[in-house]
Amino acid sequence: MNFRRIWATARRILSQLRHDPRTIALMILAPCLLMTILKYVYQNQPQVFQHVAADLLGIFPMLVMFLITSVGTLRERTSGTLERLLILPITKFEFILGYAKAFGIAALIQAVVVSSIALGPLGLKIAGSQLMLIVVAIIDALLGMAIGIFVSSFAKTEFQAVQFLPAILFPQLLLSGLLVPRGSMPGILRIISDYLPLTYAVDATQKVVAGHGSLTRDFLVLALFLFALLAAGAVTLKRKTK
Partner 1 sequence: MGLLGPSGSGKTTILRSIVGVQAIQAGTITVLGKPAGSKDLRKRIGYFTQDASIYTDLTCLENLRYFAQILGESEISVQEVLELVDLTKNRKQLASSLSGGERARLALATALLGKPELLILDEPTVGLDPVLRRDLWNLFHRLADQGKTLLISSHVMDEADRCDTLFLLREGRVLASGTPHDLKAQAHTHEMESVFISLVEKK
Contact positions vs partner 1 (CB under 8 A): 4-5, 7-9, 11-12, 15-16, 19-20, 79-81, 83-90, 239-242
Q: Which of 9, 11, 23, 8 is nearest to 234 (CA)?
A: 9
Q: How far apart are CA 22 and CA 14, in angstroms?
A: 14
Rounded to a whole number of angstroms, the minimum distance from the CB of residue 125 to partner 1 is 41
CA-angle at 133, arms to 166 and 221, nearest 5°:
65
Q: What are the residues whose beta carbons fall under 8 Å from the beta carbon of 237, sequence distance 6 or more?
A: 82, 86, 92, 95, 96, 153
Rounded to a whole number of angstroms, the minimum distance from the CB of residue 70 to partner 1 is 17
Q: What are the residues whose beta carbons fall under 8 Å from the beta carbon of 25, sequence distance 6 or more?
A: none
Whichever of 1 and 88 has its CB closer to partner 1, that residue is: 88
Cβ(134)–Cβ(115) below 8 Å: yes
Q: How far apart are CA 121 and CA 235, in angstroms?
A: 44
Whichever of 84 and 156 has its CB closer to partner 1, that residue is: 84
Query: Across the chain, which distance is largest between two alpha carbons, in Å?
Result: 59
Rounded to a whole number of angstroms, the minimum distance from the CB of residue 80 to partner 1 is 3
Q: Find the radius of gyration of the CA atoms of the chain.
A: 18
Rounded to a whole number of angstroms, the minimum distance from the CB of residue 6 to partner 1 is 10
Whichever of 86 and 234 has its CB closer to partner 1, that residue is: 86
Whichever of 6 and 201 has its CB closer to partner 1, that residue is: 6
Cβ(193)–Cβ(177) below 8 Å: yes
Whichever of 80 and 120 has its CB closer to partner 1, that residue is: 80
Rounded to a whole number of angstroms, the minimum distance from the CB of residue 169 to partner 1 is 25
Rounded to a whole number of angstroms, the minimum distance from the CB of residue 52 to partner 1 is 35
Whichever of 88 and 188 has its CB closer to partner 1, that residue is: 88
Cβ(200)–Cβ(222) below 8 Å: yes
